[in-house]
Chains A and B, each alone.
Chain A
Amino acid sequence: GEDVEQSLFLSVREGDSSVINCTYTDSSSTYLYWYKQEPGAGLQLLTYIFSNMDMKQDQRLTVLLNKKDKHLSLRIADTQTGDSAIYFCAEYRGSTLGRLYFGRGTQLTVWP
């Protein structure tokens, strides 16, 4: 199908790890992105991964890519209350120049 799929909600305790999952649609997508949206704000790029990589680590963030299953995940280590936000997965398919396809977003709530 056309949709990038994400679960809508995730709750974790402060200090635990969070894992946000995404299933994308196009096996030829070259870049996959994670964006963060805090309340009342625009979308901020967190990280991205190129399709020839399996994993990318950036401080507390780890992105895992399973191309066979078209599955992308974002792990946040030592989750803090400031990580509470909506997280969007997006794919660049390349079929339309410049266009990204977004999932519906996962609302992450971190409890103290």
Chain B
Amino acid sequence: NAGVTQTPKFQVLKTGQSMTLQCAQDMNHEYMSWYRQDPGMGLRLIHYSVGAGITDQGEVPNGYNVSRSTTEDFPLRLLSAAPSQTSVYFCASSYLGRGDKDTQYFGPGTRLTVL
């Protein structure tokens, strides 16, 4: 079991460029989510998905798109990168609605810098 994997680990973009952050899990989890972590702000939810074909917005969705075509993958797309999107991005996954199985498992993160 690889758990939750994310690529790339580091990325530098110029303002206006677009890119996709990849996230995959091999635990057959229904729920997947993307967070960004900024100093002093903790974790803020960007988008989440409760299953293939179903996505919804979190607290800070502007500037990001997601899709969920398979159970395993949940990519995050930055449409036109801005310096305010410089952050560390974490993908997480869990089972759904089973009490203690709601434990979220996190990937190692992608450190993104937008110049």
Contact = CB atoms under 8 A, between A and B. Distances in A.
B80 interface: no
A44 B3 CA distance: 12
Interface in B1-49: 4, 30-31, 33, 40-43, 45, 48
Contacts, number: 58
Contacts of A104: 40-42
A97 B97 contact: yes
Interface of B: 4, 30-31, 33, 40-43, 45, 48, 50, 58, 90, 92, 94, 96-97, 99-100, 102-109
Contact of B99 (A31, A35, A102): A31
Q: DSSP majority for the A interface?
A: strand
A98 B40 contact: no
Contact of B96 (A45, A98, A103): A98
Interface of A: 8, 30-31, 33, 35, 41-45, 48, 50, 88, 90, 92, 97-100, 102-105
